[in-house]
Amino acid sequence: MQKFFSRENWEFFFEHPAVRWNVCYIILLTIIGLIFAFMANWIVGTIILVVAIFGGIISIQRLRKIVIDAHEYLNELTYQVQRGQQEALLEMPVGMIMLDRRHEVEWINPYMARYFNLEIVVGKPINDVDSDLATLIEDHADNRKTQVVTWRNRRFEFLVQHQGRVIYLMDITKYELISAQYQDEQIFLGNVYLDNYDELIQGMSDSDVSNLHNYVTSEISAWANANHLLMKIIDDDNYLIIGHQASLRELEKQKFKILDTIRENTSKQNSPVTLSVGIAYGENDLVKLADTAQNNLDLALGRGGDQVVVRAQDQEARFYGGKTNPMEKRTRVRARMISQALQELMAQSDQLFVMGHTNPDMDSIGACLGIRRIAEMNGRECWIVVNDEHLHSDIQRLMAEMDNYQNIKDHIISPATALEKVTNNSLLVMVDHAKRAITIAPDLYDKMQNRLVIIDHHRRGEDFPENPLLVYIEPYASSTCELITEMFEYQPREGKGLNKLEATTMLTGIQVDTKSFTKSAGTRTFDAASYLRSAGADGLMIQSFMKENPQTFMKRNHLISRAEIINAKIALCAGEEGQVYDPVTAAQSADMLLQMSGIEASFVIYARADGKVGISARSMGNVNVQVIMEEMGGGGHLANAATQISDKTIDQVKQELLTIINKPDEDQDEPEE
């Protein structure tokens, strides 16, 4: 009995409050029960008291036994966990390194020791043990998540526990190789199209056509076999190629030299064939892959052909080639079809809105006037959307001349007025551009992007409207005014034709864009100019529009005086910081720099009124300024391109441009991301 009431026997009662409160609760209930039992009958109360005493002694002993067993189990479990942790640190396939405050190795587990050939590294500075590993630790010290790194020619998941100065490395080389193999074996699909095949074979004998087709097919087939591709002939001018992404990466390293090979070899036979290729990858659905490949081919053709567009769905495109100027087509069939399609869209619309790009030039305004006249000839009202701010002097003189043509002046409205007039059945025509970023009225574009027509002579870019009703992009054309002039031949004869102001403005647009018919002027350009001249275009009025005020003349000459020669063939001119120049002045300066002997390309960097830094680029054709400007966020033609850059100074833009210009020759054709 004395042992029962000893402190050791009741130690669990004092150490565990939960047990103590349960025991007290049971004793309290027992006492209450005994009181009621004695009140009812003392014999029954005595019996219950004896039972309660013996039951309490047994229960307390059993409760004590349970507590002791629980303690022993927890102690054993703690030992097993600690032993498991120690074994895991020593045996698990994860490398661990512990560093002290001085970045000396304090401990490494055996798995990690194998990478040091079991050398003794504990106590040595990590930089002395392995400088590459020390660099990785320093570079990724602030990363909260694991990073995949390369160390000792293997791939690891790498984590630095900064607070505990512990480094973890898990070797995932095996899984990275599997992932790389999976990526290499992904399918890509490409469409190959002969840009000018139909035009070339016109007038050829059957044997010459057969020889040309056989040569091109055999060359493409040999190229496909050499690069492990499947090639299938779809049509005389269309091929399908299928391959793995490993082959695609190799083709991109070669920069698709097949384009140069076929163009150069066929040029020697006076039948220059150029290829356009659209390649899609990164999609398991073959139908979507085929659609993306076709869209990429359309983009390549819209940019003038003779190039490759490589793009996965919803990613930026990479461009290769595009070294030649687009060739002029020899048929007017497309112009007639576009004209008829435009007439049908006009017939389905209640009114038209036509707009050019910001800072409009003569080609942009002339195209707007031409579309307004075509709409009037088809019995539809057309509004010309113009922003009166930042108009160049030639456009200001044109606007002043419109005071004599009240009907035209009444149909020139602001972007805000256009938004008020537009209805769900209206039609929007974008001329001389195809990008929302440079359109005069972005809000109007957003509202009418499902009722949109695009007429442009610039190469098609990535920032292209998704679902236009009609697209007429011909990079071979000298100007948008040339394209629209050709449409007048297919308009209703009963309507009034071009008046003097409209014809003069459109001819001025052609003259400006062709540098007085010296650049990009084909036979159809002169046909269009002849038509406009017969419609009443006035040469004296053109001279009046193109006159410069003395201030602009002096600013342009001052800008040209700052030019410097790069690599003996490139003229680069950078304006002063804070000195704002008109885009037309910069473009004229770039044109004039090309007149210097030996100069193949010119770049003019200047501050714009909107706070951006602009670049106007020109080329004689041997330097592809389009690719250079696209790399800096702009675009244009092979010989005529531009860009605008935000949040950079003129000097910063100049250094960036020089870096691109001075790339080694083998890097000049790298794709633009």
- Is 340 found in the same domain as 480? yes
Q: What confidence score (pLDDT) does residue 494 get?
A: 63
Mean pLDDT computed over 617-623: 86
**Residue 518 sits in the same domain as residue 561:** no
CATH number for position 587: 3.10.310.30
Which pLDDT score, from 0 to 100, does residue 24 have? Answer: 76
pLDDT exceeds cutoff 80 at 34: no
Phi, psi (degrees; rounded to nearest 5) at 269: -100, 15
Q: What is the DSSP string of 74-139?
A: HHHHHHHHHHHHHHHHHHSSSEEEEE-TTSBEEEE-HHHHGGGTT---TTSBHHHH-HHHHHHHHH
Together in a domain, 426 and 505: yes
**Position 124 confidence tier, pLDDT thresholds 50, 70, 90:** confident
CB 215 within 8 A of CB 317: no
* Selected residue with higher pLDDT from 323 and 238: 238
- Residue 74 and residue 125 share a domain: no
Same domain, 35 and 153: no
Residues 207 and 84 in one domain: no
Give per-residue pLDDT as tens, 129-155.
888 888 888 888 888 888 889 988 889
In a domain, 60, yes or no: yes
DSSP lists the bridge partners of residue 251 as: none
Whether residues 388 and 443 fall in one domain? yes
Q: Is the pLDDT of residue 300 over 90?
A: no
Q: Which residue has the higher pLDDT, 509 or 28?
A: 509
Q: Residue 69 — very low, low, confident or very high, per pLDDT cuts 50/70/90?
A: confident
Range(s) of the domain holding residue 25: 11-89
Alpha carbon distances (Å) from 140 to 131, 158, 278: 14, 8, 40
Average pLDDT value for residue range 646-662: 91
Q: Is residue 235 one of the residues assigned to a domain?
A: yes
Shared-domain flag, residues 356 and 461: yes
Residue 404 shares a structural domain with residue 508: yes
Are 101 and 35 within one domain?
no
Is residue 462 over pLDDT 90?
Answer: no
Domain endpoint, select from 546, 579, 601: 546
- Domain assignment of residue 182, yes or no: no
Looking at residue 118, which CATH number applies to its domain? 3.30.450.20
1 within some domain: no
pLDDT in tens, 181-218: 888 899 999 999 998 788 788 778 888 889 999 999 99
**Is 326 a domain residue?**
no
pLDDT band at 329 (very low <50, low <70, confident <90, very high): low
CATH number, domain containing residue 313: 3.30.70.270
Q: Which helix (H) or strand (E) holds 592?
A: helix 583-593
* 82-123 confidence digits (pLDDT tens): 665 656 555 567 888 888 888 888 888 888 888 887 677 888
Strands (E), 222-291: 230-235, 238-244, 275-281
Residue 457 exposed, middle or buried by CB count within 10 Å (0-12, 13-18, 19+): buried
Phi, psi (degrees; rounded to nearest 5) at 313: -60, 135
**Final residue belonging to a domain, choices 290, 321, 352:** 321
Split into its structural domains, the chain has a count of 5
The stretches of 425-490 forming alpha helices (DSSP H) are 442-448, 480-487
Give the CATH number for residue 542: 3.90.1640.10
Out of 321, 341, 364, a domain closes at: 321
- Is 160 found in the same domain as 233? no
Is 372 a domain residue? yes
Confirm whether 493 is domain-assigned. Answer: yes
Residues 311, 424, single domain; the answer is no
Q: Is position 62 within any domain?
A: yes
**Per-residue pLDDT tens digits for 344-362:** 899 989 999 999 998 888 9
Pair 171, 156: CB distance under 8 Å: yes
